[in-house]
Amino acid sequence: MATETRKLVILTEGQSEPITAKTAVSVLRYRPEEVVALIDSTQVGKTTDQVLAVGGKTPFVASLKETKGADALMIGIAPAGGKLPEAWRKIVLEALEKGMDVVSGLHQFLSDDAEFVAAAEKHNANLIDVRQNSERDVANWEGVSEDCLRIHAVGQDCCVGKMVVCIELDQAMKRQGVDSKFVATGQTGILVEGDGCPIDCVVSDFISGAAEKLVLANQHHDVMFIEGQGSLAHPRYSAVTLGLLHGCRPHGMILCYEVGRTSVSHMQQVPLKSLAELRDTYEHVAGLMLPSKVIGVAMNSRLVTAEEAEKERERVRAELGVPVCDVIRHGPDDLIEAVINLRQQLVKQ
C-alpha cells in the first residue's frame, strides 16, 4: 500500500506534539515527498519543521479546503486505545466526499463504521485500516534460518524511538552494501516501509505466530532489524512486547530509551525501571527461547542539550558496558559496529 506514491494530507488537529503525532512525524521523516500538508488549525502559518522538527517547509493548514493535489487523508496520531477523536469524523467524511482515500492506523477501524463505508462507496474512495489483520496461526519453530541475523529493538518504555532506531540501522547497513531489511511491526512502520504486521492488534494467542511469520518472510536478507513494541515493564503493553520477542527470537537486542523520562508513558504514577534492570529482564526472558544479549543502547536525547547528551552517553556506556548512541544526533555507527561484531561471532560458532 504505502509503496505506491501517494500525496497525503495528514490530520493532527490540536495534537501536533512529537509523541502524540508520532505517525505524522515518522511519515514526514522517511516519506517527506508524499506529504502535501498537515491539518491543525492551532498551528496555521507554521511549518512542520518549526513544530515537529521534521519535514522542512511542509505547511500546517486549517482544513482540507486549503490543500491541493492530495489523494489521501492520513490519521496522524497514535493514541492509547486507538480511538478516532469524535470531532475528526466530519473531516474524514469531507475527505471521502472529495474521493480521497483515508488511511488510518487506529484500533477503531474506519471500515467498521457504517457511515464511513457508505461515503467511501458513494465517492469511490478507499478506507485503509493499517492495523486490520486476520492472523490466526500459532508459532511453530519450523523453517527458521540461522543465516539471517535477527536484531530486535526493545525499550524501557513505549514511544522512545525503537522504530526510528531500526530504520536508521537498516539504512546504514544498506549504505555498507549489506542486504538488510527493516521489519515493521507497528502501523507507522508499515506506512513507512510498505509491509509488516500490526502486531499489537493481533489476537493474543497468535501474536508470536504472526512475529514468526515476519521472520520467515524476510530471512532471505542477511540482516533484519525488527521493530519492537512497548516494554516488558509497561503495565498496558507488556504482552505485545513479549509475544513479539518470543516470536522473533532475536540473536541480539538494542535497548532504546529517552533521556530524562522517569515514568511510564501516559502513566505518571508508574516509575520506569532502570536500564540495568531492564537489560537483565530482556536477556533473561528472551533467553527462555534463544540466548540473546543487549548489544547496545540507543538513547533518544531530543529533550536535552548536546552537552547533556554526551554526559549521559558516557554514564550509560560505563554502567552497561556496551556501545551507546543517539542514532539521530550521533549517527548509528557505534550500534552498527556492535551488530557487525555480533554477526562475526555467530558465524564463527
Identify the sign of the CA torsion 333, 334, 336, 340: positive
Position 138 contacts a copy of itself (CB under 8 A) = yes
Read off the C-alpha cell for 126. 478507499
Measured from the CB atom, is 120 or 202 closer to a copy of itself?
A: 202
CB atoms near residue 99 (< 10 Å) = 13
Q: What is the CB-side half-sphere exposure of residue 207 using CA atoms within 13 A?
A: 21
Binder to a copy of itself among 8, 84, 120, 201 (CB under 8 A)?
Answer: 201
Instruction: Tell me the pairing of strands 263-264 and 267-271.
Output: antiparallel
Restricted to residues 45-84, the positions that interact with a copy of itself (CB under 8 A) are: 80-82
User: Which is closer to a copy of itself, CB of 200 or CB of 227?
Assistant: 200
CB nearer to a copy of itself: give 209 or 252.
209
Q: Give 242 or 309: the residue with its C-beta nearer to a copy of itself.
A: 242
Q: Does 236 help bind a copy of itself (rule: CB under 8 A)?
A: yes
Which of residues 83 and 122 has its CB atom nearest to a copy of itself in the complex? 83
Identify the DSSP state of 7. Answer: -
Q: Hey, is 197 helix, strand or coil?
A: coil
Query: Facing residues of 325 across strands?
Result: 298
- Window of 4-12, 46-54, 88-96, 195-203 that interacts with a copy of itself by CB under 8 A: 195-203
Largest CA distance in the chain: 61
Smallest gap, in angstroms, from Cβ of residue 82 to a copy of itself? 7
Q: Which stretch binds a copy of itself (CB under 8 A): 40-48, 70-78, 116-124, 232-240?
A: 232-240
The dihedral sign for the CA sequence 172, 174, 177, 180:
positive
3-state SS class at 75: strand
Figure out which of the listed residues 161, 209, 250, 252 binds a copy of itself, where binding follows CB under 8 A.
Answer: 209
Out of 189, 196, 243, 323, the only residue in the binding site for a copy of itself (CB under 8 A) is 243
Binding mask of the shown chain, residues 244 to 283, with x at each position contacting a copy of itself by CB under 8 A: x-x--------------------x-xx--x-------x--
Would you say 125 and 73 are in contact if contact means Cβ atoms under 8 Å apart?
no
The residue to which cell 535477527 is assigned:
150
Identify whether the C-beta of residue 9 lies closer than 8 Å to the C-beta of residue 21: no
Q: Quote the Cα angle for 262-310-283, to 5°.
A: 55
CB closer to a copy of itself out of 172 and 272: 272
**Footprint on this chain of a copy of itself (rule: CB under 8 A):** 80-82, 107-108, 136-141, 199-205, 207-209, 232-233, 235-240, 242-244, 246, 267, 269-270, 273, 281, 284-285, 288-289
